[in-house]
Amino acid sequence: MGSRLIAPSILAADFGNLQHDVEMVNKSEADWFHIDIMDGVFVPNISYGMPVLKAIAAHAKKPLDVHLMIIDPDRYIKAFAELDSSILTVHYEACTHLHRTLQAIKSEGMQTGVALNPHTNISVLEDTIKDIDIVLIMSVNPGFGGQSFIENTYDKVRSLKAMINGKNASTRIEVDGGVTDKNAKELVEAGADVLVAGSFIFKSDDQLTTIHDLKTIAN
């Protein structure tokens, strides 16, 4: 699998100074930009849409890992491809025809991601795991930053890793929500490949060092 990746969550950035924070991530040892798109329907919060993503994409020098927390994501697959998204993650809970959605994402040249809410069992992905590049395990209830980590996540990551290995898939596991230097090592030991961190990075006094330390712990 190679080295573990760090994806700072731009939802926690300073929106009044977005270019500055994007350039900080460019300079850092982080690997991806994690970008949460929320519609106020699928989750009880509205984040930002296409214009802000376009502004981020204009300055970002690393892959855009776009996480759609929206209903009916199929409507927007093409639009996100046109905004240079490298990975497009949809929620299992928002997709009636998951396989079709994954094919549509692939056909636009993006990597496929599927996110699972904390209450959703990994077994729902058994039939599609070979079509999924990344499974995003939500370790908090989606919608708001700064929540505390759900402890069941470790077991969920371990079970998912066993499924991926059992199916001989090359799917990577991403964990999003409440990730800090306190749980990063245990998550990686459980099988996580990508760690998303928001508040922990952006609220720290020295963001570059915080990213460096997370990357060191994860690898």
CB atoms < 10 A from the CB of 118, how many?
15
Q: Is the dihedral of CA 97, 40, 132, 50 positive or negative?
A: positive
CB-neighbour burial class of residue 93 (10 A; exposed 0-12, middle 13-18, buried 19+): middle
84 classed as catalytic: no
Tell me which of 21, 65, 133, 176 is the catalytic residue.
176
Burial of 38-74, coded b for 16+ CB within 10 Å and e otherwise, reads: bbeebbeeebbeeeebeebbeebebbbbbbbbbeebe
Tell me which of 36, 39, 131, 193 is the catalytic residue.
36
Kindly list the catalytic residues: 36, 176
